[in-house]
Homo-oligomer: A and B are copies of this chain.
Amino acid sequence: MAEDSPPAQTVLYVCSTCRAGMPLQEGQPVAGARLLAALQNAVETLPEAAESQPQPIIRAVECLSACAHGCAIALARPGSWTYVYGDLSAADTADILLGAQGYCASADGIPPWRERPAIFRKQCVARIPPQEIAQ
């Protein structure tokens, strides 16, 4: 990538169908849907100072197949490492967005260890190397 290219867009995937091991309750959104809504709401109501920071696009995913560690999210960006985190809930919204901003600001998807929120240091489910574009 040329030095003056804009950085690729980071996507924050949220497993929106996750029940986090709980039974379905009629009329109540599942844990994954609650986490998704909390993240979307937090991004929409960011203070002006935070808006100038690169933010991830939030995408709902039907299943990240990390059901043993729900709720789960993933951070991905072309050319960077992909990270999957688990055992999360809507209570982690602020830390997830903080960690996502660190991901956005990093060159390769690997922010300095000490700058990652505790949930990212301790609740990593997996990471995957940057995708090879060559066919």
Contacts and interface: CB of A to CB of B under 8 A. Distances in A.
Interface of A: 5-6, 8-9, 11, 13, 59, 61, 63-66, 72, 74, 76, 78, 82-84, 86, 124-129, 131-135
B83 A65 contact: yes
- Report whether over half of chain A's contact residues are helix, strand or loop; otherwise say mixed: loop
Contact of A64 (B6, B8, B64, B127): B127
A112 to B, nearest CB: 16
B124 A65 contact: yes
Contact of A66 (B6, B125, B131): B125
Given A65-B83, A83-B65, A129 B13 contact: yes
B126 A126 contact: yes
Contacts of A11: 132
Given A65-B83, A78-B133, A83-B65, A128 B9 contact: no
